[in-house]
């Protein structure tokens, strides 16, 4: 039986308001689109590894972890 949290994942902010990269252009890079499409079906360990890698890179680059913006 599938479990649903009831969260549709759609907020009240547009990508531009939330600070999403590329939101103003309305374009998602093809490689990111693959990750987004596969995300719900990826094993939890794979998702944790992806997030850990991204968070590590954000820290190394000196970006804010919440927004991805430069400090």
Angle at 39 between CA 14 and CA 35, to 5 degrees: 75
What's the pLDDT at 26? 79
| Dmax (CA) of the chain | 44
Helix, strand, coil % over all residues of the chain, rounded to 5:
50, 5, 50
What's the pLDDT at 2? 47
**2 or 65: whose pLDDT is higher?**
65
The string of pLDDT tens digits covering residues 15-62 is: 555 555 555 667 899 999 999 999 999 999 999 999 999 988 888 777
């Amino acid at each position: 039986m599938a479990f649903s949290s009831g969260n549709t994942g759609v907020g009240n902010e547009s990508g531009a308001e939330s600070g999403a990269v590329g939101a103003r252009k309305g374009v998602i890079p093809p490689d990111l689109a693959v990750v987004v499409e596969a995300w719900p079906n990826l094993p939890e360990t794979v998702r944790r590894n992806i997030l850990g890698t991204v968070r590590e890179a954000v820290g190394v680059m000196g970006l804010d972890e919440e927004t991805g913006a430069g400090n």
